[in-house]
Amino acid sequence: MASSLFSYLLLSLFLVCLGLVGVLIRRNLVIMLICIELILNGVTLNLLAINKFVTGGAAVGQVIAIFIIALAAAETTIALALIFLTFRHYKEIDSEKLNELKG
């Protein structure tokens, strides 16, 4: 089981679809950000499993995974600052109530 490529791919597919459900149906902005993190982790796991399967663990795939992790960190920083700002401005982090341009 640990050496079967399909189990890794199934786990990463599960993480991506679960994160997609969360982004679409949850209304709290922080929880939507958490779901985006799950999607990014699923994508990275998929990339690394395929890298091990095709090239036997070459360093190129690992370098690209490092780039994904760094970009995820940058994205989280900006998103958290925006959520904090939104909360301070509107006193609200419900995504369904933020659809008006109140200025």
Partner 1 sequence: MLNDVIFLIFWLVIAVFAVLAVFLQKPIYNAFAMAFSIFSIAGMYVFLGYEFLAALQVLVYVGAISVAIIFVIMLSPPVTVSPKKINPYKIFIGIVTSLALFILIFVLYYGKFLSEKINLNQPSQGVKEIGNLLAMPYAVPFEIISVILLVAIMGAIVLAKKEE
The residues in 36-65 that bind partner 1, with binding defined as CB under 8 A, are 37-38, 41, 45, 48-49, 52-53, 56-60, 62-63, 65
Site string for partner 1, 77-96 (x = CB under 8 A): xx-xxxxxx-x---xxxx-x
Q: Which residue has the tokens 């995504």?
A: 95
When asked if residue 4 is in the footprint of partner 1 (CB under 8 A), the reply is yes
**Of 66, 68, 53, 40, which Cα lies nearest the Cα of 4?**
53
> What's the rounded Cα separation, in Å, for the pair 37 and 83?
15
Q: Determine the size of the site formed for partner 1 (CB under 8 A).
A: 71
